[in-house]
Amino acid sequence: MYTPIVATLGYILSPDKKKTLLVHRNKRDDDQHLGKYNGLGGKMEPEEDIYQCLVREIYEEAGIHCTEAVLRGTINWTGFGPNGENWFGFIYRIDAFEGVPRTENEEGKLDWVDIDKIMELPMWEGDKYFLPLVFDDDSRIFHGYMPYENAKPLGWQYTRI
């Protein structure tokens, strides 16, 4: 039976649109993301819709309020979790926000990273497949499938509509 964990993943743009705010997951030894850079987000709660989840997670993790967010795509990550859990993610680009982002949170340091250097960072191997779609100029939403096994992607396919 397919019962994925539903989550958001947000990439916050700097006001000049040249950088994105990422978390460097370096605080908890038991973190499956330890040492990796990642967007901000997390699991959807039962009483919220997906956009409310994004806004809540961005506020909890960065201390800012989203004022303009664009759904860039969805990804079905099967076998991604530490125990082989399936995840279904809604990937957003946050084009505007209010407030001043924190410099760290309970998961790690928050860093503004040049978008054109993002691929040089340590991250999940699979992120390198979809990140170009988050930041490109194509306004169509992508819908991807990326099966994982033993923390490695087995493939990547997507459609854009």
The reported pLDDT for the residue numbered 33 is 66
CA distance 19 to 12: 8
Tens digits of per-residue pLDDT, 4-28?
999 999 999 999 999 999 999 786 6
DSSP 116: G
Are 125 and 119 a contacting pair, CB within 8 Å? Answer: no
CA distance 105 to 101: 10
Domains by residue range for the chain, with CATH: 5-155 (3.90.79.10)
- Say if strands 152-153 and 148-149 run parallel, antiparallel, or are unpaired: antiparallel
Query: Digits of tens for pLDDT over the chain (161 positions)?
Result: 999 999 999 999 999 999 999 999 786 667 566 689 999 999 999 999 999 999 999 999 999 999 999 999 999 999 997 889 999 999 999 999 999 999 999 989 999 999 999 999 999 999 999 999 999 999 999 999 999 999 899 999 999 99
The reported pLDDT for the residue numbered 28 is 66
CA distance 46 to 65: 21
Lookup result for tokens 């040249």:
18
